[in-house]
Amino acid sequence: MNRIVYVVLFLLCAAPLAGTLTAQDSDMREKARQLAKEYLITDGHVDLPYRLKVRNFRLEREYLGIPVETADGDFDYVRSKAGGLDAPFMSIYIPASYEDNGAKLLADSLIDMVEGIARAHPDKFALAGTPQEAAANFEKGLISLPMGMENGSPIERKLENVQYWYDRGIRYITLTHSKDNHICDSSYDTTGTWNGLSPFGREVVREMNRVGIMVDISHVSDSTFWQVMELTEVPCIASHSSCRKFTPGFERNMNDDMIRRLAANGGVIQINFGSTFLDGEVRKAFDEKRAQLDALLKEKGLSYEDEEAEAVIQKFQEENEVLLADVKTVADHIDHVVALVGVGHVGFGSDFDGVGDTLPTGLKDVSQYPNLIYELLSRGYSEADIEKICYGNVWRVWNAVEAAAGR
């Protein structure tokens, strides 16, 4: 999740994906839809739980209508079925402000919410703690809800909590988020508290290996990444990161050397769909517009939370447009990873419900995975390649981590 809050509205200026289709294009699009149904699709990062939390959908009775079908957000059951999404990792997102301030309590409440969704809709959703459980759910027509924790703050300096979170269903932990925490340094922070992992963070990585929780290196600083790679005994993931080649200077993404090292250890990078993760020019324009809005509100003595700011923000949105990335850009990132390390080390990590209005044309919600599969088919990817990207690569890492813990 990209929790740096942007409120500027970016209107879509790109041409629509579908114009006049040739018969070959039409056949390929149909093939993409078929593959989306045939292959299990996993996504490394969907921020539904926190979206529901902040909108106060907290009581189990309210799960009866959400997330089955809704116009809100990027994820619901109906759209997931349409797009072929079968195992979205529910992000148990903990803002950096919760470090030493109720992180464990918030994490427990979000896990309770995911469990509540599965209880409320047993004909539609099910929990999944292993790839085998997710595969069994897929055969039954159920959408699996595996869970990953975004930010290790809920470990709360107690190594035994790593096992606690595994027992609660967490299958990966993103070590930090937007600020350095007690485990490691963040790519968004400039403090360099630990110059990588803290001494306790080193113990956490080892304990995650022992327990069977995947180490997620999205959000961490470069120095943290390299130290994790030296320490871990099993493959790791980047649950929702893209390639720095396309966003120079943006440390949140991975550079080529990091992608090579992640792959050498058997790991997988799951591409983030947010336009600011995909295109450096979009990111630059996005930041410039936000700075302008910041200055405008400051000049008027307002903050984003002030009721009086709504009209100012609305007017600014109407007068400002930025061109977003599109589905082809996501495929460009996949191409880049494949060229560097092969097709066995890339997957999907959309950040749906986490990147707001920055989603690219053609990938606006979970119903549109077939558009990306079509783009990969049009670039010559085989069905076996696409199966690996849809789930096989991540399942290989997940199984490896589980197997090592079993030993």
Confidence of residue 60 (pLDDT cuts 50, 70, 90): very low
For β-strands 214-216 and 170-174, DSSP reports them as: parallel
pLDDT confidence of 81, banded at 50, 70, 90? Answer: very high
Residue corresponding to tokens 């350095």: 180
Among 351, 357, 253, which Cα is nearest to 1's?
A: 351
**pTM for this predicted structure:** 0.90
Q: Which two structure tokens, joined as six digits, stand for 277?
A: 């993760």
* Cβ neighbours of residue 348 closer than 8 Å, sequence gap 6 or more: 41, 42, 43, 44, 270, 271, 273, 369, 372, 389, 390
* Fold held by 24-279+328-406: TIM Barrel (3.20.20)
- 334: CB partners within 8 A, 6+ apart: 271, 346, 376, 389
Residue (of 311, 282, 281, 276) closest to 296 by Cα position: 311
- Measure the CA–CA gap between 389 and 346, rounded to whole angstroms: 6
**In degrees to the nearest 10, what's the CA dihedral of 106, 107, 111, 117?**
40
Q: Which residue has the tokens 């995909």?
A: 278
Q: What's the mean pLDDT when you consider all of the chain?
A: 92
Residues 130-144 have pLDDT tens digits of: 999 999 999 999 999
Residue of 250, 242, 275 lying closest to 357 (CA atoms): 275
Residue 406: pLDDT above 60?
yes
Check pLDDT > 70 for residue 2.
Answer: no
pLDDT(178) > 90 = yes
pLDDT tens-digit map of 217-269? 999 999 999 999 999 999 999 999 999 999 999 999 999 999 999 999 999 99
Per-residue pLDDT at 61: 47
Look-up of token digits 């209107």 = 11
Instruction: Show me where the domains of the chain are located.
Output: 24-279+328-406, 280-324
* pLDDT score of 328: 98
Is residue 341 within 8 Å of residue 36, measured between CB atoms?
no
